[in-house]
Chains A and B, each alone.
Chain A
C-alpha cells in the first residue's frame, strides 16, 4: 500500500509542479475574449500583428459568455484583469467597471488627429461604449470601449416563397405585409417566424413600431412617466400583434419559440419572413447555403416617423486602466479596427465590421444589414431605461395578445398600472 501511495504522490507532485507561468520573451499584451466562433480569425490576426509590429498578442478564450463574465468579475476583484477585455451585460455593469477604475478612457485617443480613429467607426456602434454628459450612471463623460463589429436586427424575406405567391419585391408597408401573408396563408405557407419565446425579441419588434408610430421623444417620455402606456399610440403598437394573429401572419408556436428554432424554420424554407439579427447571415449559411433571401427594414405602418431598428456595437473591447502598457493596448485596438483587419474579420465571420470603410465584397444580405445602420438605435443609448418589471409586463402581455388571452386595450391598461406601481416605489 505504502509503495503505491508514494508512487502516486510522486506522480501527483511532479505533474502539479509543471505550472504554466510563461516568461514573455517579447513585448506582449493579453486579451481575454468570449467569442469562440471568432477564435481562429483572432488567432490569425494576432499572428499578423506580431509579424507587423513585433508585439505578441496572447489571446485567451473563455466561453460561454456567462463563464467569461464570472471570470472578468473575479479578476476585477483581485486586480488581475488582462490588458484588453470585454464587459458583457447591461450598461449599468459597464458603468460599474468604469467607476471602479478598471476601464481606460479612450476619448482622447479617439479624438486625436481630428478624430481619425473615431471617424472611421460607425457612430451607432461607438454610442454603446459612450457615456454622455450628466448620464444617470454618474460616469465621467467619454468613450470607454472600441467596437470590433456591429449588428442590427431586421426582417428577412425568402425570395423563393414570395415568388411562389406572385410577389416579386419585399413589402414596404404594413398593409403590403399583411396582404402578402394572406397570399402565403392561402397557399398553406407560414408568414413571420422569430424567436419570440425569448421575450427581448418581442420587445425589439414592438419598439421598432413604437418609433415608427409615435417617434423617439414620445417613447422616452413614456419611460420617464410623462406619457401613459394607455395612450392610443401604444394601443396601436399592441394592436399590430393582434392583427398579425387574426390574419394568421405568424408561424405556429412563435410565442414559445427560441431563436435557434426560428432560424432553422426560416433556413429550411418553412416560413417566408423572419425577424432576426445580422448574425443570421452566418447562421443561415451553415444551415442552408442555398437559401435565397434578403434583408429589409420592417414594413412601415406610418410615414410620420422613420422606422428604427435595434443595433449598435456587437462586441467591444476595453483597455484595462491598470495595464502596465496602456499605449500598446490602445495601439492594438486601433490596428484591429483598421479597414484591412475589419475586412478580414467580416469575411471570416460573416459579421458586420465596425469600420464603416470596410464594407466591400460583402454578401448581399449582409450589405443590406450594413445599409440600415443609420436606422439603428438601442435602449442602452437612450439615456433613460425602463424598469425590468414594466418590460416584463409589456413583453409577456404581447405574448398574451398573440395567444388571444388579452386585448391591446387591456394590455395597455395593465402595463400602465405596473408602470405606476414601479414609479410609486421609486418616489
Chain B
C-alpha cells in the first residue's frame, strides 16, 4: 500500500515536471504568434508605447489595409499556384526517384544518390548566381516555369532522402505480391509504395509547402515583373530602409501565416506518423 502511494507520488512528480516543461515550450512557441496578432491590431504609434498583448482599441482595419496596400489579391493567387505546382512536382519526382534508388538496380545508383545528398548541403543563396546564369541561358528568367523548376530542384534532395529511407523499410513481400498480381514497376509505385508512404509524403508536403510559401529571395532573383511575384513581396512593401510599418507588416504576416497553419493542422496526424515512420511501414 505504501509502495503504491510512493509510486503514484513519483509518477505525479514526473508527469508534473514533463507537463511544466511542455507548457513552457508551448508558451515560447505561441508567444511570438500571439505577439504578431496583437501587434497587427495596434497603430504605428501605439506599437512602440502600448506593451499589452492585445490593445484596448483593436485596429481591425489593419488587415484590410495590409491586404490592399500589399497587393495581396494578386500575390496570394501566385503563391497558391507556386505552392501547389512545386509541391506536386516534388512529390511526383521525388517519390519516383526515391523508389528507383530504393528498389531498382542500375549502374551509378549510389553515386547519383550521394550527389542528391550533397546538394542538400549547399544553401540556396550560395547557388543564386549560377542559377540565375543558367535560367538566363535557358531564357527562363522572369517566367513562372523558371521559378517553379528552380523551387522543385531546391526541394528534391531532402524529399528523395526522406522517401528513400521510407521505401527501404517497405517489405519486399508486398512488392512481390503486387508483381504476382500483374503490376508493372510503375504500378507497384502507384498502387503499393505511394499509399504506404502517405505519412512520409505528408512530411514532404508540409516541409516543402512551408518552404515555397515563405520563399522570397529566389523569386526576387528570377522575376522582374511584379505580377509574377509571390506573397512575400507584398510584405516587403511595409519594410523600408529605415521605416517599418509594423502594424501592417504584422497584419500581413498573420494573413500569410494562416494558410500554412491550416495545412499543418490538416496534416498533423500524418506528420507525427511520418516522423516515426519506421514503426508504421508494413
User: Which A residues have a C-beta under 8 Å from some C-beta of B?
Assistant: 1, 8, 12, 15-16, 18-22, 34-39, 60-65, 67-68, 70-71, 73-75, 77-78, 80, 264, 267-268, 277, 279-280, 282-283, 286-289
Among B48, B88, B236, the residue within 8 A (CB) of A287 is B48
A365 to chain B, nearest CB (A): 14
| Minimal beta-carbon separation of A108 from chain B (angstroms) | 30
- Give the CA-CA distance A289 to B49 in the complex, in Å: 13
Q: Contact at A35–B129, with CB atoms within 8 Å?
A: no
B149 to chain A, nearest CB (A): 10
- Chain B residues with CB under 8 A of A267: 48
Give the contacts of B50-86 with A (CB-CB under 8 A).
81, 85
A15 near B133 with CB under 8 A, answer no
B276 CB contacts on chain A under 8 angstroms: none
CB-CB under 8 A from B145, the residues of chain A are 16
B270 interfacial by beta-carbon distance below 8 Å? no
Bound complex: CA of A30 vs CA of B91, how far in Å? 39
Query: In the bound complex, what is the Cα–Cα distance between A286 and B239 (angstroms)?
Result: 13
Assess whether B132 is in contact with A35, with CB atoms less than 8 Å apart. Answer: no
The residue in chain A whose Cβ has the minimal distance to the Cβ of B245 is A286
Most chain A CB within 10 A, of B129, B236, B241, is at B241
A80 and B241 CA atoms in complex are apart in Å by 25
- Separation of A277 and B220 alpha carbons in the complex (Å): 29
- Is there an interface contact between A67 and B143, defined as CB atoms closer than 8 Å? no
Contact of A71 among B137, B148, B221 (CB under 8 A): B221
Contact B240 A37 (CB under 8 A): yes
Contact across chains for B221 and A289 when beta carbons are under 8 A apart: no
Q: Which of B107-115, B224-232, B251-259 contacts A (4 or more CB under 8 A)?
A: B224-232
Q: CB-nearest residue of chain A relative to B239?
A: A36
Picked from A38, A71, A279, A289, the residue with its CB within 8 Å of the CB of B220 is: A71
Closest chain B residue, CB of each to CB of A37: B240
Please state if B45 and A288 are interface contacts (CB–CB under 8 Å). Answer: yes
Interchain CB contact under 8 A, B241 and A35: yes
List, in ascending order, chain A residues with CB within 8 A of B242's CB.
37, 277, 279-280, 282-283
Known contacts A20-B227, A267-B48, A268-B49; is A77 also within 8 Å of B142 by CB? no
Pairwise interchain contact B241-A8, C-beta atoms closer than 8 A: no
A12 to B49, CA, bound (A): 48
Known A20-B225, A74-B132, A77-B132; contact A37-B241, beta-carbon cutoff 8 A: yes
Contact across chains for A77 and B44 when beta carbons are under 8 A apart: no
Known: A20-B225, A286-B44. A80 touches B49 (CB 8 A): no
Residues A18 and B144 in contact, CB atoms below 8 Å apart: yes
Q: How far is the CA of A63 from the CA of B217 in the complex (A)?
A: 9
Say how far A16's CB is from chain B's closest CB, in angstroms: 4
Q: Which residue of B lies closest to A38 (CB)?
A: B240
9 A-B pairs with least C-beta separation? A37-B240, A20-B225, A74-B132, A279-B242, A16-B145, A78-B136, A67-B220, A16-B144, A63-B236
Q: Are A12 and B85 within 8 A (Cβ)? A: yes
Q: How far is the CA of A70 from the CA of B123 in the complex (A)?
A: 14
Fill in one digit per residue for B268-279: 1 if any A CB lies within 8 Å of its CB, else 0: 000000000000
Q: How far is the CA of A282 from the CA of B245 in the complex (A)?
A: 12
Which of B125, B137, B143, B221 is in CB contact (< 8 Å) with A16?
B143
Q: Give B186 Cβ to nearest chain A Cβ, in Å.
A: 11
Given A12-B85, A19-B143, A36-B236, the answer on whether A287 and B44 have CB atoms closer than 8 Å is: yes
Interface check B206, CB cutoff 8 A:
no
* Bound CA–CA A106/B258 (angstroms): 50
Q: Do B129 and A73 touch (CB < 8 A)? A: yes
Complex interface: chain B residues within 8 A of A1 (CB) = 190
CA distance A286 to B48 in the complex (A): 10
Given A20-B227, A20-B228, A288-B45, does the pair A64, B132 have CB atoms closer than 8 Å? no
Closest to A259 in B: B242
For A38, what are the chain B residues with a Cβ–Cβ distance below 8 Å?
240
Interface residues in B132-154 by Cβ distance below 8 A to A read 132-133, 136-137, 141-145, 148
Evaluate contact between A80 and B237: CB separation under 8 angstroms.
Answer: no
A267 to B166: give the CA distance in the assembly, Å.
56
Within the assembled complex, what's the spacing in Å between the Cα atoms of A20 and B190? 36
Give A8 to B227 CA distance when docked, in angstroms.
22
Residues of chain A with a CB closer than 8 A to B49's CB: 268, 288
Task: Tell me the minimal C-beta distance from B80 to chain A in angstroms.
Answer: 11
A15 touching B237 by the CB < 8 A rule? no
Write out the residue numbers on chain B whose beta carbons fall within 8 Å of the beta carbon of A268. 48-49
Residues of B contacting A21 with CB < 8 Å?
A: 142
Chain B positions 157 through 194: 1 when the CB is less than 8 Å from some CB of chain A, otherwise 0: 00000000000000000000000000000000010000
Chain A residues whose C-beta falls within 8 Å of the C-beta of B44 in the assembled complex: 286-287
Q: Are A62 and B220 in contact (CB under 8 A)?
A: yes
**In the docked arrangement, what's the CA distance between A289 and B43, Å?**
13
**From residue B118, how far is it (CB to closest CB) to chain A in Å?**
23
The answer to whether residues A22 and B225 also contact, given A35-B241, A77-B129, A288-B48 and a CB cut-off of 8 A, is yes
User: Which one of A8, A18, A62 has the highest number of Cβ atoms from chain B below 10 Å of its Cβ?
Assistant: A62
Partner of A15, one of B144, B190, B224, B236: B144
- Please, how many angstroms separate the alpha-carbon atoms of A63 and B239 in the complex? 8
Contacts of B225 in A (CB 8 A): 20, 22
Given contacts A1-B190, A282-B243, A264 and B129 within 8 Å (CB-CB): no
CB-CB < 8 A to A283: which residues of B?
242-243
**Contact present for B241 and A78 (CB under 8 Å):** no
A299 to B: closest C-beta gap in Å: 25
A58: nearest chain-B partner, CB-CB: B224
Quick check: B143 and A80 within 8 Å, CB to CB? no
**Other 15 A-B pairs with CB < 8 A, given A36-B240, A73-B129, A267-B48:** A16-B145, A20-B143, A35-B240, A36-B238, A37-B240, A37-B243, A60-B224, A61-B236, A62-B220, A70-B129, A71-B221, A78-B133, A268-B49, A283-B242, A286-B45
Q: Counting chain A CB atoms within 10 Å of each CB, which of B48, B142, B217, B245 scores highest? A: B48
Residues of A contacting B238 with CB < 8 Å?
A: 36
Residues of A within 8 Å of B137, CB to CB, are 78
Contacts of B141 in A (CB 8 A): 80
Determine how close the nearest CB of chain B comes to the CB of A56; give it in whole angstroms.
Answer: 15
* B7 at interface by CB-CB < 8 Å: no
A–B Cβ pairs within 8 angstroms, 21 of them: A16-B148, A20-B142, A22-B225, A37-B243, A60-B226, A67-B217, A68-B220, A70-B217, A71-B220, A71-B221, A73-B129, A78-B136, A268-B48, A279-B242, A282-B242, A282-B243, A283-B242, A286-B245, A287-B44, A287-B45, A288-B45
